[in-house]
Structure 1
Amino acid sequence: MSNILAGLFEHHSDYKKLEGDLENSGFENADYIIYLNSDTNNAQYLASVTVKDNGQIDTARNVFVQNAALKTYLFENMSIREANYDTIKKYIDARNRAEIHNSPDIKIKTSSDGMNSEVKF
């Protein structure tokens, strides 16, 4: 079974350019789906591509990065028929909740030694 590489893209990126870049990289029209938001104020979109091996994963990921992908997700053992918007969104949401995010820098204050013999009065 194939794998699905999904990507979440920036608001200002062009999905038509993504389509062209995927096809120029060897992917067929039936190998990818671009999910557009119907809200015209929010042009952010999601795309998924069927990938069969590490070479195709790297190729698709490079195309995604060139087209301003915010983040990519690899879903193993999933076909393009299973990659509808609701399913992909559900898996992305679950991964994001499970991900351990970086915590802010924490400064630990230790007790001082107080005055020592180098203090002159």
Structure 2
Amino acid sequence: MSNILAGLFEHHSDYKKLESDLENSGFANSDYVIYLCDNGTSQYLASVTVKDNDQVENARSIFHQNAALKAYLFEGMNVKETNYDTIKKYIDARNRAEIHNSPDVKIKTSSDGMNSEVKF
């Protein structure tokens, strides 16, 4: 069974260039889908069918060259059985499960003198 590499792209990136880069690197027109958002932004998602690690790395490289914010590999999926809502749902689930960096936290160390743990 094939896998899907999905990518979320920058607002300023050009999806037409992504299409030509994918086709020039050996992916057929039927191997990828580009999901354009109609919410007024030019941000978009793309998914590519990949069969082995070489194709995964090739597609990741193309995604990176075309300003992908992040790429996600979904195993056991096929482009024909996915749509925008399905891909978005899986990406949202992955993001919720991912451990994000926390903001800088200042830890107060003990100092000479009284502190809040002193009991009277």
- Fold shared per TM-score above 0.5: yes
| Alignment partner, residue 97 of structure 1 | 96
Q: How far does the alpha carbon of each residue in 1:26-47 deviate from its partner, in whole angstroms, 9 at most, with x for none? A: 10000000001123x3010000
Matched, 1:63 2:62: yes
Runs of 4+ with >2 A deviation: none
CA contact (8 A) 1:4 1:83 kept: no
Cα distance in 2, alignment partners of residues 113 and 50 from structure 1:
63
**Paired residue secondary structure (1:112):** coil
CA shift, 1:77, in A, is: 0.3
Write the deviation string for residues 19-69 of structure 1: whole angstroms up to 9, x where unpaired.
000001110000000001123x30100000000011000000000000000
Q: Partners in 2 of 1:113 and 1:42 — Cα distance? A: 56
Deviations 1:61-108 (A, max 9, x none): 000000000000000000111221111011011111111111112221
| Structure 1 CA distance for aligned equivalents of residues 83 and 2 of structure 2 | 15
Q: How many angstroms apart in 2 are the aligned matches of 1:69 and 1:48?
A: 12
Are the counterparts in 2 of residues 4 and 79 from structure 1 also a CA contact under 8 Å?
Answer: yes
Task: Give the aligned length.
Answer: 113
Letter in 2 for 1:49: V
TM-score by length of 2: 0.90
Q: Distance in 2 between matches of 1:32 and 1:14?
A: 15
CA distance in 1 between counterparts of 2:59 and 2:45 reads 14
2: CA distance between counterparts of 1:15 and 1:83?
A: 19
Structure 1 length-normalised TM: 0.89
Let me know the Cα RMSD of the aligned residues: 1.0
**1:15-34 alignment runs, 5 A limit:** 15-34=15-34
Residue identity over aligned pairs, in percent, reads 79
Kindly report which structure 2 residues correspond to 1:38-117, keeping only aligned pairs within 5 A, or say none.
Answer: 38-39=38-39, 41-113=40-112
Rounded Cα–Cα distance in structure 2 between residues aligned with 1:83 and 1:63? 21
Can you give the 5+ residue segments of structure 2 that lack an aligned partner in the other structure?
Answer: 114-120
